[in-house]
């Protein structure tokens, strides 16, 4: 019957969604804080995933299990404990209707009542806050008019205190680069620290990284210990991808905030330099996102270490060093180059949707190149899948090319930022201004400044390309491997290969000297 489908939809979907919306609306109406509205569903999601749905130790009493079922707003724990944990058979699930006991029904009724009370409180507060028309008697109208006239006469009769313009203490002058950058940094941090997006994306990033860190299978499905370095390396690609999307939104909104708040004319007419304002906004976006991510991931790593210690009996102390190296030295150049690219697009179009389109297009193109195998150390600006960590040494395997790659993309970011500032027009140019900018001396000066930033980037890129070419995946080495295969391996292709029956091997590890001795 249709009711067998509609009743679970109402009890498990409609009631929780409407109740959560009503309670969130009441919280927003009372506190007037957007962050708290987003904090409620995020807190419910995290508590459900990590505690309410899965917390079922052997010592948990029956009343404790029923209490967790009652407070679960989604009803998943009740459904799992009552109907799914013990398999009742296909015939039972296909023919028996889903019935609800007194606990679940009472919890749903209490949820509806709580939502109704929250909605009623919010409606009353909004009604008192808004101006509603009401009847005014003639006596009250005359009294209000008389009070207003008396206040006006008293104000006009009072002596006026006159003061000079100098008493206002106004001043004007040149603003330094550092002072302008600090002011822009403070303004952006105030705007971003209560942004609802951080309350959504940061918990999602933690959920994406803490799961593989708690259980990482090794050879033959044996549990592999997760160290701070391996945690930073295996979560680097996920953190990089989500951080790039965070920056795409937050930094674009930061660039467009002046025009959206209608203060662009004031900012453009101020003596603050465009480069200083842009660097301040970059620093603010990077700081807020980095602090939120680092704090959340640090807590996630500690949780993973504790769970791992309880399961294996080996407790590893969390260390911030690998996190600073992986997420600081490796990730920050990526974010800097990414923000410089967005600044370049913004300086050309002055449209945030153009920046969004260019950013998403760049991400799609990058993903396509990665899938096709066209990415190498020169163009790998994001380092997806290329951060290999060993606890014998910090980035021991590819340290040289990693450093050159990060230096290259810092220089590329500086070049893009310089081009952006050259194209960024804060005032509408006239015909004379266009003619002046096209003069040979000015054009030559711009070219020279371009070489100052672009020359080192080209030099580092060429050096890195030569290292890639001479490496194991370079063209000469690949041709040598192909020639060796044609000359040797293909000759013995169909010959039966001998099997190794026994190996006598003596392996000595020396972590202090970063060496391995093999004998046998």
Let me know if 212 is exposed, middle or buried by CB neighbors in 10 A (0-12, 13-18, 19+).
middle
> Hey, which residues does 383 pair with through a beta bridge?
none
DSSP letters, 81-125, are: IIIISS---HHHHHHS-----HHHHHHHHHHHHHHHHHHHHHHHH
pLDDT per residue as tens digits for the range 76-126 = 999 988 888 878 888 888 888 888 899 999 999 999 999 999 999 998 888
Task: Name every residue whose Cβ is closer than 8 Å to that of residue 510 and which is 6 or more positions away in sequence.
Answer: 516, 517
Q: How far is CA 178 from the centre of its chain?
A: 27
**Residue closest to 416 by CA, chosen among 464, 457, 375, 384:** 457
Examine the pLDDT at 439 and tell me if it is beyond 70.
no
Cα distances (angstroms) measured from residue 353 to each of 230, 254, 349, 360, 389: 38, 13, 9, 10, 38
pLDDT at 240: 87
Which letter does DSSP use for residue 217 in this model? B
Examine the pLDDT at 132 and tell me if it is beyond 60.
no
- Report residue 378 as tokens: 């020169």
Beta carbons of 68 and 52 less than 8 angstroms apart: yes
Share of the chain above pLDDT 90, in %: 20
What is the residue whose two structure tokens read 């620093």?
283
Q: Give this prediction's pTM.
A: 0.68
Rounded Cα–Cα distance for residues 34 and 193 (Å): 11
pLDDT at 385: 73
- Length, in residues, of the chain: 520
Beta carbons of 505 and 517 less than 8 angstroms apart: no
Which of 283-292, 345-354, 403-412 has the lowest average pLDDT?
283-292
Let me know if 419 is exposed, middle or buried by CB neighbors in 10 A (0-12, 13-18, 19+).
buried
| Element of type H or E holding 508 | strand 506-510
Q: How confident is the model at residue 434 (pLDDT cuts 50, 70, 90)?
A: low
Examine the pLDDT at 265 and tell me if it is beyond 70.
yes
Give the up-direction half-sphere exposure of residue 230: CA atoms within 13 A in the CB hemisphere. Answer: 17
Give the up-direction half-sphere exposure of residue 97: CA atoms within 13 A in the CB hemisphere. Answer: 11
Examine the pLDDT at 441 and tell me if it is beyond 80.
no
Rounded Cα–Cα distance for residues 393 and 390 (Å): 6
Q: What is the mean pLDDT of the chain?
A: 82
Rounded Cα–Cα distance for residues 174 and 179 (Å): 10
Which of 26-40, 116-130, 183-197, 428-442 has the lowest average pLDDT?
428-442
Rounded Cα–Cα distance for residues 461 and 409 (Å): 9
Count the Cβ atoms, other than its own, within 10 Å of residue 248: 21
Examine the pLDDT at 395 and tell me if it is beyond 60.
yes
Count the Cβ atoms, other than its own, within 10 Å of residue 79: 18
**Residue closest to 227 by CA, chosen among 328, 314, 327, 324:** 314
pLDDT at 499: 78
**Residue closest to 404 by CA, chosen among 374, 388, 383:** 383
Q: How far is CA 90 from the centre of its chain?
A: 44
Q: How confident is the model at residue 393 (pLDDT cuts 50, 70, 90)?
A: low
**Residue closest to 188 by CA, chosen among 277, 268, 275:** 277
Q: How many angstroms separate the first and last alpha carbons of the chain?
A: 74
pLDDT at 213: 62
Which of 189-193, 246-250, 272-276 has the lowest average pLDDT?
189-193
Give the up-direction half-sphere exposure of residue 94: CA atoms within 13 A in the CB hemisphere. Answer: 3
Question: Higher confidence at residue 277 or residue 198?
Answer: 277
Question: Higher confidence at residue 392 or residue 340?
Answer: 340
**Residue closest to 338 by CA, chosen among 359, 357, 317, 356:** 359
Count the Cβ atoms, other than its own, within 10 Å of residue 44: 17
């Amino acid at each position: 019957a249709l009711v067998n489908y509609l009743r679970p939809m109402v009890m498990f979907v409609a009631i929780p969604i409407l109740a959560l919306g009503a309670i969130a609306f009441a919280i927003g109406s009372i506190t007037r804080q957007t962050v708290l509205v987003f904090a409620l569903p995020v807190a419910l999601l995290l508590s459900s995933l990590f505690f309410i749905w899965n917390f079922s130790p052997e010592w948990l009493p029956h009343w404790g299990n029923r209490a967790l079922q009652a407070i679960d707003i989604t009803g998943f724990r009740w459904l799992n404990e009552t109907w799914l944990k013990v398999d009742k058979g296909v015939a039972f699930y296909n023919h028996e209707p889903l019935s609800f006991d007194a606990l679940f029904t009472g919890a749903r009724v209490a949820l509806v009542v709580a939502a109704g009370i929250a909605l009623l409180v919010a409606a009353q507060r909004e009604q008192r806050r808004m101006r509603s028309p009401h009847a005014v008697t003639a006596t009250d109208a005359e009294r209000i008019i008389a009070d207003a006239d008396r206040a006006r006469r008293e104000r006009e009769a009072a002596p006026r205190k006159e003061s000079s313009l100098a008493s206002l203490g106004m001043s004007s002058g040149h603003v330094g680069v550092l002072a302008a950058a600090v002011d822009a940094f403070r303004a952006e941090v105030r705007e971003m620290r209560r942004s609802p997006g951080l309350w959504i994306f940061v918990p999602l990033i933690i959920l994406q990284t803490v799961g593989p860190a708690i259980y990482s299978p090794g050879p033959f499905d044996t549990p592999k210990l997760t160290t701070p370095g391996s945690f930073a390396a295996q979560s680097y690609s996920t953190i990089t991808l989500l951080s790039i999307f965070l920056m795409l939104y937050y930094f674009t909104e930061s660039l467009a905030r002046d025009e959206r708040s209608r203060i662009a004319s004031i900012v453009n007419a101020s003596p603050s330099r465009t480069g200083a304002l842009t660097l301040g906004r970059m620093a603010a976006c990077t700081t807020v996102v980095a602090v939120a991510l680092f704090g959340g991931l640090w807590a996630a790593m500690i949780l993973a270490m504790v769970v791992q210690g309880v399961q294996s009996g080996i407790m590893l102390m969390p260390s911030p060093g690998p996190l600073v190296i992986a997420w600081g030295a490796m990730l920050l150049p990526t974010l800097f180059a990414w923000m410089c690219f967005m600044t370049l697009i913004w300086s050309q179009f002055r449209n945030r949707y153009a920046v969004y389109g260019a950013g998403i297009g760049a991400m799609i193109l990058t993903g396509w190149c990665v899938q096709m195998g066209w990415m190498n150390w020169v163009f790998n600006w994001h380092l997806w899948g290329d951060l290999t960590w060993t606890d014998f040494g910090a980035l021991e395997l590819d340290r040289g090319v990693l450093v050159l790659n990060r230096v290259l993309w810092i220089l590329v970011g500086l070049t893009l930022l310089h081009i952006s500032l050259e194209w960024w027009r804060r005032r509408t140019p006239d015909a004379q201004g266009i003619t002046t900018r096209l003069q040979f001396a000015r054009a030559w000066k711009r070219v020279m400044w371009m070489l100052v930033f672009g020359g080192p980037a080209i030099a580092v890129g060429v050096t890195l390309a030569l290292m890639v070419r001479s490496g194991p995946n370079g063209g000469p080495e690949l041709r040598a491997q192909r020639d060796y295969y044609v000359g040797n391996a293909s000759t013995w292709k169909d010959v039966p290969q001998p099997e190794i029956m026994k190996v006598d091997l003596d392996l000595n590890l020396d972590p202090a000297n970063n060496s391995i001795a093999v004998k046998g």
